[in-house]
Every structure is written in C-alpha cells, then in structure tokens.
Amino acid sequence: MHGRPAFARREVLRGFAGCTAGLLIVELAGAEAGSAHGLASYVQNSGLVTERPKPLPYQEIPGFLSAQQLAPHHAAHYGGALRTLISDENQLEQLLKSGQPLTTPAFGALQKDRVNRANSVVLHELYFDNMAARPSQPPDDIRTALARRFGSLERWADDFRATCMAAGGWGILARDAVNGRLYNVASDLHEVGVLWFGQPLLVCDVYEHAYYVDYQNRKGDYVEKFLQHIDWGEVNRRFRAAG
Ligand SMILES: [Fe+2]
C-alpha cells in the first residue's frame, strides 16, 4: 500500500512551437510499484549517490541547446547545487556528532537549504536526462495514459506548455503515487515540498492546530511527547516497503 512510485522511464521528444524546449516525458509508472528495481536506472549514477556530478549525456543538442548554454548550466547550477548539498550534509553531520546546538533559525536555514539543494540536484538530473538529440514519438504506454488523463496528447501538450509558462522554476509532469493520476505541476522553489521521490516514513504535524488545545505555546513539549509515542512498527513497515 505504500509502494514506491517505480521509475520506469518512457522518453519522448516532441517539438512544441511556443514552448522553450522539446519536451521529454518521464512516466512514473505504477506497474512496478513496490519493486526494488523501479529507481535503479536513476539511482545508479545520481550525484546523490556518487557525490559527483552525473555527466551530461551530450555536449549539445543541435538546434535546441548549445554547448555554451548547457555547460555552465550543468557545471555551475547543477554542480553548484550538489556541492552545496554536500557541504550542508557535512555540517549537519558534524552537528549530530558534536552535539553542539545551533540557534533554531540557523538550524532551520541549514535544514531547508539541504532540501533546496537536494531537490535541485534531482530535478536537474531528471531534466538533463529527459532530453535527447533526436525527436521521437511517445510509446503507446505514455501516449495512452496522457490521452486518457488529458483528453489527447495535444491537450496534454497545451496544458504542459501553459504550466511551463506559468512556472518560475520548473514545469513537471508527475504521477501521484497516492491516486496514480498524472499531473502537470509548476514549482517555483526547490524547497517547497519534500524530497522528490521521497516517501514519508514518519510524520509529525507541527501546525498549531495539532497541539495548541493541549500544549498552548509549548511546542517543544508536544514534540517531545510525540517522540515518546511513535509507532515504530508502522515506521518499520513503511521503511521496508520503500525498499
Ligand atoms: Fe537549472
């Protein structure tokens, strides 16, 4: 029931007048839900695993993106995000080992920056990997799924184009792991949301509505009690399901 969104990729390049790029579709297929193999192709060379930038699969895409465009994007933006992520991780690791507390704002800034950078790494890797030099046609699986969801491939393209135009950061086709539906979504900040592909294992609601009746402004007391009342059996089941 907590099956992972398996990452069976179906790549398609289409040229769209009025949109900045040919669009490649990444399908997060449900067919392999629960499989430990679904993310294998992504995980293998991700900078999140190797701590080194995943190489570009090309130097340029003639007629679309030049080497002058791609190289600094890959090296400075993607590579920079990965370098900062590693730095954030190291700082947080040192904090854990040393037990030396940061102020809450400083700790919060570091935590949020880590998520920002990690999401930037993931999104850039998906982006670079879902472009190709030659146009192709959607295979039946994704074509059928998009037509079923959006009415037709063309209507999906219209919606995706509009999503790209409306987004300040990313336009994304995604499959929601809960209801299995496809969505075109706009994301303006890497850190809004949680880690892409992340599957929640333990969740604590820290909105005031979750504790104010019992704890008023004593949020720390509420969190401490929460920690004492974790159903670790359920957490472990989620962990195992995530592979
Ligand atoms: Fe970028």
CA of 79 to the centre of ligand 1 (A): 10
Buried (b) or exposed (e) across 78-115, using 16+ Cβ within 10 A? bbebbbbbbebbeebeeeeeeeeeeeeeeeeebeebbb
The answer for 115, left when phi > 0, alpha when psi is -120 to 50, beta otherwise, is alpha
CA of residue 56 to ligand 1 center, whole Å: 13
Inform me whether the pLDDT recorded for 34 exceeds 50: no
Residue 210 is given by DSSP the state G
Per-residue model confidence (pLDDT) at position 89: 96
Q: Is 70 exceeded by the pLDDT of residue 11?
A: no
Rounded to 10°, the helix 153-166/140-150 angle is: 70
Question: Does the structure show a pLDDT above 50 at 18?
Answer: no
Q: pLDDT band at 193, cuts 50/70/90?
A: low
Distance 120 CA to ligand 1 centre (A): 8
What is the whole-number distance in angstroms between the Cα of residue 75 and the centre of ligand 1?
A: 10
Measured CA to CA in angstroms, residue 243 lies from 2, 8, 29 at distances of: 10, 16, 17
Distance CA 20, CA 156 (A): 16
- Which two three-digit tokens encode residue 207? 């909105």
Tell me, in angstroms, the distance from the centre of ligand 1 to residue 6's CA.
24
Nearest residue to 204 (alpha-carbon basis) of 233, 231, 179: 231
Query: What is the 50 CA–ligand 1 centroid distance (Å)?
Result: 20
List residues, by chain if needed, whose CB lies under 5 Å from ion ligand 1.
77
Least confident of 36-45, 65-74, 93-102, 172-181: 36-45
- Strand-pairing partners, residue 170, are 187
The Cα–Cα gap between 150 and 33 comes to 23
* Percent of the chain topping pLDDT 70: 80
pLDDT band for 101, please (50, 70, 90 cuts).
confident
* CA 217–ligand 1 middle distance (angstroms): 40
Which domains are delineated in the chain? 200-243 (3.55.40.20)
Query: What local confidence, expressed as pLDDT, does residue 36 receive?
Result: 43
Residues 6+ apart with CB under 8 A from 163: 171, 172, 184, 185, 186
Question: What b/e string do you get for 19-41 counting C-beta neighbours within 10 Å, with b at 16 or more?
Answer: bebbbbbbbbbbebbeeeebbee
Report the pLDDT averaged over residues 40-44: 74
